[in-house]
Amino acid sequence: MVDVARLAGVSVSTVSYALNGTRPVSAETRARIEAAMAELKYTPNLMARSLRGRRSKIIALVFPGQGRGIDISSLGYILGASDHAQSLGYHLLLWTTEIDSLASLRTLVGQGLLDGVLLMEVRMDDPRIAVLTEADVPFAMIGRTDQATETDWVDTDFDQCVHDALHHLTDLGHRHVALVNQAAPILEMGLSGAIRTQRAAQRSAAQLGLDLTAVTCDSTAPAGTALINHLLDRHPQLTAVLALNEQAVPGVMAGALERGLRVPDDLSIVAVAMSEQAALMAVPAITTISADEHEMGRQGVEVLINRLEGQPGPNTQKLFEGTLRVRGTTGPARS
Amino acid sequence: MVDVARLAGVSVSTVSYALNGTRPVSAETRARIEAAMAELKYTPNLMARSLRGRRSKIIALVFPGQGRGIDISSLGYILGASDHAQSLGYHLLLWTTEIDSLASLRTLVGQGLLDGVLLMEVRMDDPRIAVLTEADVPFAMIGRTDQATETDWVDTDFDQCVHDALHHLTDLGHRHVALVNQAAPILEMGLSGAIRTQRAAQRSAAQLGLDLTAVTCDSTAPAGTALINHLLDRHPQLTAVLALNEQAVPGVMAGALERGLRVPDDLSIVAVAMSEQAALMAVPAITTISADEHEMGRQGVEVLINRLEGQPGPNTQKLFEGTLRVRGTTGPARS
DNA sequence: ACGTCTAGTCGAAACGTTTTGACACATCGT
DNA sequence: ACGATGTGTCAAAACGTTTCGACTAGACGT
Cα–Cα nearest to A325, from A285, A294, A281? A285
CA A59 to CA A36: how far, in whole Å? 32
Backbone phi and psi for residue B181, each to the nearest 5 degrees, phi listed first: -95, -170
pLDDT tens track for B85-112? 999 999 999 999 886 689 999 999 999 9
Mutate to test the interface with A, among B58, B94, B118, B292 (most CBs of A within 10 A): B94
Q: 3-class DSSP state for residue A209?
A: coil
pLDDT tens track for A291-327? 999 999 999 999 999 999 988 889 999 999 999 999 9
Mean pLDDT over each residue of chain A, to the nearest integer: 94
Q: Chain D: nucleotides under 7 Å from a protein CB? A: 7-12, 14-21
Could you check: is the Cβ of residue A9 within 7 Å of any atom of nucleic acid strand C?
A: yes
Cross-chain CB nearest to B72 (options A41, A72, A222): A72
Strands lying side by side in the sheet with A240-243: A211-215, A176-180, A240-243, A268-272, A287-290, A323-325
Contact: A94, B92; criterion CB under 8 Å: yes
Region B167-196 average pLDDT: 96
Could you check: is the Cβ of residue B52 within 7 Å of any atom of nucleic acid strand C?
A: yes
B41 CA → D7 C1’, Å: 29
Q: pLDDT-derived band of residue B117, with 50, 70 and 90 as boundaries?
A: very high
Query: Which chain B residues are within 8 Å of A93, Cβ to Cβ?
Result: 58, 91-94
Q: Which residues pair with B142 in a beta bridge?
A: B154
Q: What single letter denotes the amino acid at residue A159? A: D
Q: pLDDT-derived band of residue B67, with 50, 70 and 90 as boundaries?
A: low
Cross-chain CB nearest to B79 (options A51, A96, A277): A96
pLDDT score recorded for residue A282: 85
Q: pLDDT-derived band of residue B335, with 50, 70 and 90 as boundaries?
A: confident
**Contact between residue B235 and residue B202 where contact means Cβ atoms under 8 Å apart:** no
A12 CA → D22 C1’, Å: 16
Mean pLDDT over each residue of chain B, to the nearest integer: 94
**Contact between residue B332 and residue B173 where contact means Cβ atoms under 8 Å apart:** yes
CA B79 to CA A93: how far, in whole Å? 13
pLDDT score recorded for residue A311: 82
Q: What single letter denotes the amino acid at residue B55? A: R
Contact: A96, B83; criterion CB under 8 Å: yes
- Given a cut of 80, whether residue B65 has pLDDT beyond it is no
What is the DSSP-derived secondary structure letter of residue A151?
A: S
A95 CA → C17 C1’, Å: 24
pLDDT tens track for B268-306? 999 999 999 889 888 889 999 999 999 999 999 999 999
Give the HSE-up count for residue A90: Cα atoms under 13 Å, Cβ half-sphere: 29
pLDDT score recorded for residue B219: 92
Name the E strands within B55-190: 58-62, 91-95, 116-119, 139-142, 153-156, 176-180
Torsion angle, CA of B311/B313/B315/B321, rounded to 10 degrees? -80
Contact: A281, B278; criterion CB under 8 Å: yes
H or E stretch at A325: strand A323-325
CA A99 to CA A105: how far, in whole Å? 9
CA B172 and chain centroid, separation: 31
Task: Give all domains of chain A, ordered by start, each with its CATH number.
Answer: 2-44 (1.10.260.40), 58-156+293-321 (3.40.50.2300), 158-290 (3.40.50.2300)
Residue in chain A lying closest to B283 (CA): A254
pLDDT tens track for B15-30? 999 999 999 999 999 9
In this complex, how many residue pairs, one in chain A and one in chain B, have their CB atoms less than 8 Å apart?
A: 147
A219 CA → C13 C1’, Å: 57
Give pTM, 2 decimals. 0.94
pLDDT tens track for A72-117? 888 899 999 999 999 999 999 999 987 668 999 999 999 999 999 9
Cross-chain CB nearest to A113 (options B46, B220, B284): B46
pLDDT score recorded for residue A158: 98
CA B184 to CA B163: how far, in whole Å? 23
Q: pLDDT-derived band of residue A70, with 50, 70 and 90 as boundaries?
A: confident
Which protein residues have their Cβ less than 7 angstroms from some atom of strand D? A 1-2, 12-13, 15-17, 19-20, 22, 42-45, 47-49, 51-53; B 9-14, 17, 23-26, 28-30, 48, 51-52, 54, 112
- Given a cut of 80, whether residue B250 has pLDDT beyond it is yes
pLDDT tens track for A212-251? 999 999 999 999 999 999 999 999 999 999 999 999 999 9
Contact: B280, A221; criterion CB under 8 Å: yes
- Given a cut of 70, whether residue A157 has pLDDT beyond it is yes
Name the E strands within A157-305: 176-180, 211-215, 240-243, 268-272, 287-290
Mutate to test the interface with B, among A54, A56, A91 (most CBs of B within 10 A): A91
Q: 3-class DSSP state for residue A80?
A: helix
Share of chain A above pLDDT 90, in %: 88
Q: What single letter denotes the amino acid at residue B116? A: G
Give the HSE-up count for residue B132: Cα atoms under 13 Å, Cβ half-sphere: 19
CA distance A61 to chain B (A): 10
pLDDT score recorded for residue B99: 67
